Amino acid sequence: MNVRRLIPTTAVAGAVVLGLTALSACSTSDAADGGNGDKLKVTASFYPMQFLAEKIGGEHVAVTSLTKPGVEPHDLELTPRQIGSISESDYVLYLKGIQPAVDDAIKQSGVKNTVDAATLTTLENHGSEVSGHDHDHEGEEEHADEHGHEDEHGHEEEAHEEGDGHNHGEEGGADPHIWLDPVKYAEVAKGVGKSLEKADPDHAADYKKNTDALVAELGELNTAYETGLKNTATKTFITTHSAFGYLAERYGLTQQGIAGIDPEAEPSPARIQEIHTIAEKEKVTTVFFETLASDKTAKTLAKDTGLKTGVLDPLEGITEKSQGADYIEVMKSNLAALKKALGAK
């Protein structure tokens, strides 16, 4: 997270006032305004929240996403109009710790039905370098951090020194990338379903039905991952963005992040050397980069180590470059990429 990009609280407060006077629908889903006055106006902070709101809300909601396709969510700066649109919402769904500008604006919006997805499941601390089951020198951490907020090696979302994993965060210290674990995402989906039932009781039966259908779909996705990644030649994958800690932990893999949780953090020379060694020792074949950030680091490292490059999408947004039209499709593409890179048998 680039701290320099965060919007000061005073600016947010002023912008809320501006936004309220200048408000008009400003989103990927202009349905929130014209002709849909009877729909629940839902504001989602970024794509994984938008997907849940649309799938569970169905025809009863008009969803606006604050993060346009192709924008790196961690870097989002809100316009006064967007801040105003939050205040005008009936229901806001966000994930605290990913987008400080959004967190601040929501805090000041006064919206009654505000749901933080991070409260609907258990967050854990994944150091930028060590995730999943690679705990050579931090073996105690794997179980100590199950409840997410006390681990001394917690990796703050704002941390961008060099991914050393020693940022002592309070609440923000936990890894927010819960949507990349289908099991945790299903837990969030259940919570979102219940909160929509409460916010709009007239359509509670539909929200419940839609939630059950999505949870079943996520269950199938989890089974596909479990089966597909059970027998592999290696369990280690290298990625430029340490977003896959939950996924690694769920399926017994080891994520080695070149940098940290912040996709723009530059790795230290020592870290690059360490990655070289790990790649040789663990028979790693591929360096993964993501769709919304530069692939320069991955390509340089791959060239130096003779590894291939591939895409592992952290699903922070869907664009025409995405390997699929929605969350489920892209997660299936990610599974195919992992199976190939890890030598699934």
On the question of pLDDT at 224 being above 50, the answer is: yes
Residue pair 103/83 in contact by the 8 Å Cβ criterion: no
With a CB cutoff of 8 Å and minimum separation 6, the contacts of 109 are 16, 83, 86, 87, 89, 92
Indicate the average pLDDT of the chain. Answer: 79
Residue 289, beta-bridge partner list: 311
By residue count, the chain amounts to 345
Give the residue among 192, 186, 185, 187 at the shortest CA–CA distance from 207.
Answer: 192
Give the residue among 96, 64, 99, 104 at the shortest CA–CA distance from 82.
Answer: 64
Q: Which of residues 239 and 156 earns the better pLDDT score?
A: 239
**H or E segment at 310?**
strand 308-311
On the question of pLDDT at 77 being above 60, the answer is: yes
Q: What pLDDT score was predicted for residue 258? A: 83
Q: What pLDDT score was predicted for residue 58? A: 98
Q: What pLDDT score was predicted for residue 236? A: 96
Distances (CA, A) of 56 to 33, 152, 197: 20, 37, 10
On the question of pLDDT at 139 being above 80, the answer is: no
Q: Report the share of the chain in percent with pLDDT over 90.
A: 59
Residue 40, beta-bridge partner list: 61
The per-residue pLDDT for range 245-276, each reduced to its tens digit, is 999 999 999 999 887 656 566 777 888 888 88
Spatial distance between the Cα atoms of 266 and 83, rounded to a whole number of angstroms: 31
* Residue 3: burial class (beta carbons within 10 Å; 0-12, 13-18, 19+): exposed
Mean pLDDT within 55-63: 98
Single-letter amino acid, residue 36: N
Single-letter amino acid, residue 209: K
On the question of pLDDT at 117 being above 60, the answer is: yes
Give the residue among 219, 242, 250 at the shortest CA–CA distance from 122.
Answer: 250
For 61, the 3-state DSSP assignment is strand
Mean pLDDT within 62-73: 93
What token pair was written down for 329?
């499709």
Q: Which of residues 52 and 170 earns the better pLDDT score?
A: 52
Q: What pLDDT score was predicted for residue 81? A: 94
Mean pLDDT within 290-302: 77
Distances (CA, A) of 166 to 102, 127, 271: 25, 8, 14
Residue 69, CB half-sphere, CA atoms under 13 Å: how many? 10
Spatial distance between the Cα atoms of 101 and 313, rounded to a whole number of angstroms: 23
Least confident of 51-65, 141-155, 182-196: 141-155
On the question of pLDDT at 186 being above 50, the answer is: yes
Crossing angle for the helix pair 100-109 and 9-21, to the nearest 10 degrees:
60
What DSSP string runs through 261-274?
Answer: SSTTPPPPHHHHHH
What is the separation, in whole angstroms, between the first and last Cα of the chain?
A: 38
Q: What pLDDT score was predicted for residue 260? A: 61
**pTM score over 0.85:** no
Q: How confident is the model at residue 293 (pLDDT cuts 50, 70, 90)?
A: confident
On the question of pLDDT at 185 being above 70, the answer is: yes
On the question of pLDDT at 328 being above 50, the answer is: yes
With a CB cutoff of 8 Å and minimum separation 6, the contacts of 19 are 79, 80, 81, 82, 83, 84, 85, 86, 87
